[in-house]
Chains A and B, each alone.
Chain A
Amino acid sequence: MKKIAVASGKGGTGKTTVSLLLTLIASKKYKVQLVDCDVENPNCHIFLGSFPIKKEKIGVFYPVINLEKCSFCKKCQEVCEYNCLLVLDDNVLFFPELCHPCKGCLFVCPEGAIDEGKREVGDICWFRESDNIYFNYAVMDVGEARANPLIEELKKNLENDVDLIIFDSPPGANCPMVQAVNDSDYVILVTEPTPFGLYDLKIAWSVVNKLGIPAGIVINRDEGEDKIITDFSSQENIPVILKIPFSLEFARLYSEGVIKADFFPDIEEKMFNIIESI
């Protein structure tokens, strides 16, 4: 099984377009699972997701302090890297938004005064698009601050009988992006041939390079003037694996929630080359 993550340093470059085209094209030969890791703003389901299978709530740990048992020893406060717990003389304050549910406090409490609470942070949904396409996405509840628990849950739900898994990563170069691309075999960095595109590509590449994952660049909305990206590509030695031309018609269909796998006839062979080179 091969895992490919599709990432970009900023939103709006065409990550979802590339993930969807790759999914649809790959499914002609392979069994594919597409996982939309952009849990703050998932959008692959607008184009896919015709057959929902199930939907579940995602819950994460939070500490519930039992003041009857608590000796106010402050061990939980000391172990917490995120300063979520404040032990006073006769009370313990907990700041839920800060908690990265590591359970450190639960392990160190000498009095067994911490119980395991569960807090709902979002939903995960399973879809079967066709025989060859599985699709999952998760969506964060309004007001939640952290995307990582949801991405973690998505990654626990990978299918065993597929040939290819495609992660549509959240935009940016932050914790959620790292979690989405982390254990993939290859990263596709989507960019556009503008100074903004280059700026964000550099940031995303610096993260992927540090993780030691091989990567290739896809230039989206390419109108021929892409020297700004190809220069960076040769300088950093990351291949440009695909150029997707700018097309008003493609954009119009996309805005109506339609994506056509064979709209750009030239890209199919290149997509298969990418998959087979991994």
Chain B
Amino acid sequence: MKIAVTSTGGSLNAQVAPNFGRCAYFIIVNSEDMKFEPISNPGTGMMGGAGPAAARLINDRDCKVLLTGSVGPNAQSALKQFDIEVVTGVSGTVKEAVDNYLETQK
């Protein structure tokens, strides 16, 4: 399963970014082998609607879960349409966030 985490940098040791649409990177982690792919977020330079665009982006990458600090209302309804599970209030490093999430799934 693929998990998207908003991040301030391009590695697993970077901090989880506090917001979704305008974060610097998405780290897409495959929970089976913990391989990850950093994607620089085009939303940082968008005129508007970075939230729904970000939802589209992680949906296009087949992510089923999003770990982040917070999500705006427009992004929220887009994520719901895509059936992506959203966990907010997440902080610490990307790796910790994924480990904690997987722990709760056991």
Interface residues of A (CB under 8 A from B): 80-84, 86, 88, 91, 93, 95, 97-98, 100
Identify which of B47, B48, B55 gathers the most chain A CB atoms within 10 Å of its CB: B48
| Beta-carbon contact of B81 and A83 below 8 Å | no
| Beta-carbon contact of B81 and A82 below 8 Å | no
Any A CB within 8 A of the CB of B74: yes
Which listed residue, B46, B47, B52, B56, touches A95 by the CB 8 Å rule?
Answer: B52
Nearest A residue (CB) for B50: A83
Min C-beta distance of A166 to chain B, whole Å: 31
| Beta-carbon contact of A83 and B77 below 8 Å | no
Cα A88 to Cα B53 in complex, Å, equals 13
| Beta-carbon contact of A91 and B81 below 8 Å | yes
Q: Which residues of A contact B56 (CB under 8 A)?
A: 83, 86
Nearest A residue (CB) for B74: A95
Cα A88 to Cα B50 in complex, Å, equals 17
| Beta-carbon contact of B48 and A100 below 8 Å | yes
Min C-beta distance of B26 to chain A, whole Å: 16
Which listed residue, A81, A93, A97, A98, touches B81 by the CB 8 Å rule?
Answer: A93
Nearest A residue (CB) for B55: A86
| Beta-carbon contact of A93 and B49 below 8 Å | no
Any A CB within 8 A of the CB of B78: yes
Cα A83 to Cα B53 in complex, Å, equals 6
Q: Which residues of A contact B48 (CB under 8 A)?
A: 81-84, 98, 100
| Beta-carbon contact of B49 and A95 below 8 Å | yes
Q: Which residues of B contact A97 (CB under 8 A)?
A: 74
Interface residues of B (CB under 8 A from A): 46-53, 55-56, 74, 77-78, 81
| Beta-carbon contact of B46 and A93 below 8 Å | no
| Beta-carbon contact of A93 and B53 below 8 Å | no
A-B contact pairs, 19 of them (CB 8 A): A80-B49, A81-B46, A81-B47, A81-B48, A82-B48, A83-B46, A83-B48, A83-B50, A83-B51, A83-B52, A84-B48, A86-B55, A86-B81, A93-B77, A93-B78, A95-B52, A95-B74, A97-B74, A98-B49
Identify which of B49, B51, B55 gathers the most chain A CB atoms within 10 Å of its CB: B49
Q: Which residues of A contact B78 (CB under 8 A)?
A: 86, 93
Q: Which residues of B contact A93 (CB under 8 A)?
A: 52, 77-78, 81
Nearest A residue (CB) for B53: A83
Cα A192 to Cα B49 in complex, Å, equals 37
Min C-beta distance of B104 to chain A, whole Å: 29
Min C-beta distance of B91 to chain A, whole Å: 27
Given contacts A83-B46, A98-B74, is CB(A88)–CB(B81) below 8 Å?
yes
Q: Which residues of B contact A86 (CB under 8 A)?
A: 52, 55-56, 78, 81
| Beta-carbon contact of A82 and B74 below 8 Å | no
Min C-beta distance of A58 to chain B, whole Å: 21
Cα A98 to Cα B78 in complex, Å, equals 13
Cα A91 to Cα B88 in complex, Å, equals 27
Which listed residue, A82, A88, A91, touches B47 by the CB 8 Å rule?
Answer: A82
Q: Which residues of B contact A100 (CB under 8 A)?
A: 47-48
Q: Which residues of A contact B74 (CB under 8 A)?
A: 95, 97-98
| Beta-carbon contact of A82 and B77 below 8 Å | no
| Beta-carbon contact of B77 and A84 below 8 Å | no
Q: Which residues of A contact B55 (CB under 8 A)?
A: 86
